[in-house]
Amino acid sequence: MAVLIDGKAISKQIKDELRDKVAELKAQGREVTLAVIQVGNDPASSVYVGNKKKACEYIGIRSLAYEMPEETSEEELLQLIDELNGRADVNGILVQLPLPGQIDEDKVIRRIDPAKDVDGFHPQSVGALCIGQPGFVSCTPAGVIQLLKRSGIEIAGKECVVIGRSNIVGKPMALLLLRENGTVTVAHSRTKDLKEVTKRADILIVAVGKPRMITAEYIKEGAVVIDVGIHRDENNKLCGDVDFETVMPRCSAITPVPGGVGPMTIAMLMNNCVESVL
Ligand code: NAD
């Protein structure tokens, strides 16, 4: 029977540890401050921003909310980032993506001071990860590593397969598994015979962005399966990239959706905020 990896419980554990750390910092007269910028009022983005604010409150991080109208120009947003970069009392800056079409996302990401880049999207942060130097790590893949470690799953020497090569999940995920001494394969939309590749995996990380695409025939008996995907199905029910019902009986451990990777992303964002003052 597969072990269910409980992302809700593990993320709570991390947030509680961070809350203690923030209290210690406060006792030394130091405060952690995150600035969150939202442009426009996309409902999904508003939910994400709201959840980030709630997590900050729980941990004791001061959050500053900047809500800018949909028609904000690139220049106005860059000016705000410059101002926040220059403020000594702001430790982390997060720009909620996606941005409206008139704004170049890459330009915005590059403008954030890498020392405040708590999302870990700045090319300097990504480069540091690539060559094993300290820097902020993208929150979702960092959360996956925590799920594995805190569930007692050894990564070193294991065959790890990542499906997906996006800049925010697949690529940093592969680099992190490599840092943990896994033997890493990255599969993607041009991979030939995906099943043959995924069936080698002791640890399979799925970030393919296709609801329930990964079924039992992609899985080696006893594998650990981490499902990064998040979708609403035809009945408006949340589901992942993995067909949980058929895959679960084949694996040794698996993350559910919801309650797996999802809660870890915010926990790791909070972790990056605390690290920004250390
Ligand atoms: P993306 O669309 O940017 O990337 C998907 C990747 O899958 C691409 O690299 C592509 O090459 C690969 N792919 C597509 N079709 C394929 C196929 N048939 N076979 C093999 N590979 C294929 O997506 P993303 O931003 O990396 O996100 C992936 C999933 O994770 C999405 O469902 C997204 O909603 C979810 N997500 C969840 C969180 C979270 O906090 N839980 C965070 C980010 C993303």
- Residue environment code for 50-74, b if the CB has 16+ CB neighbours within 10 A, otherwise e: eebbebbebbbbbbbebebeeebeb
Confidence of residue 120 (pLDDT cuts 50, 70, 90): very high
Q: Kindly report the number of other CB atoms within 10 A of residue 120's CB atom.
A: 23
Give, to the nearest 10 degrees, the angle between helix 139-150 and helix 262-275: 100
* pLDDT average, residue stretch 123-150: 97
Query: What share of the chain has pLDDT > 70, as a percent?
Result: 100
Helix 43-59 vs helix 7-27: angle between axes, to the nearest 10 degrees?
50
Ligand 1 geometric centre to CA of 167 (Å): 10
User: Among this protein's residues, is 52 annotated catalytic?
Assistant: yes
Mean confidence (pLDDT) of the chain:
97
The alpha-helical segments, DSSP class H, found in 151-206 are 170-179, 194-198
Percent of the chain with pLDDT over 90: 99
Neighbours of 217 (CB within 10 A): 11
Look at ligand 1, atom 31, and give the residue with the nearest C-alpha: 209
Is the pTM higher than 0.75? The answer reads: yes
196-254 pLDDT tens trace: 999 999 999 999 999 999 999 999 999 999 999 999 999 999 999 999 999 999 999 99
- With a CB cutoff of 8 Å and minimum separation 6, the contacts of 103 are 39, 72, 73, 74, 77
| pLDDT 10s digits, 7-25 | 999 999 999 999 999 999 9
Please identify which of the residues 21, 52, 158, 171 carries the catalytic annotation.
Answer: 52
Helix axes 7-27, 139-150, angle to 10 degrees: 110
The predicted pLDDT at position 125 comes to 98
Catalytic residue among 6, 119, 241, 243: 119
Specify whether the CB–CB gap between 257 and 232 falls below 8 A: no
> Pairing state of beta strands 224-227 and 231-232?
unpaired
- Whether 13 is a known active-site residue: answer no
pLDDT band, very low/low/confident/very high, at 97 (cuts 50, 70, 90): very high
Pick from 44, 13, 6, 20: nearest CA to 267: 13
How much distance in Å is there from the Cα of 239 to the middle of ligand 1? 14
- With a Cβ cut-off of 6 Å, ligand 1 is lined by 140, 163-166, 168-170, 187-189, 191, 194, 207-210, 228-231, 241, 261-262, 265
Q: Would you state the pLDDT for residue 278?
A: 87
- The per-residue pLDDT for 275 is 96
- Residue whose C-alpha is closest to residue 38's, from 82, 62, 72: 72
What distance in angstroms lies between residue 163's CA and the mean position of ligand 1's atoms?
A: 8
Distances (CA, A) of 113 to 23, 79, 117, 160, 222: 26, 13, 6, 33, 43
Atom 2 in ligand 1: residue holding the nearest Cα: 209
Atom of ligand 1 nearest to the CA of 165: 9
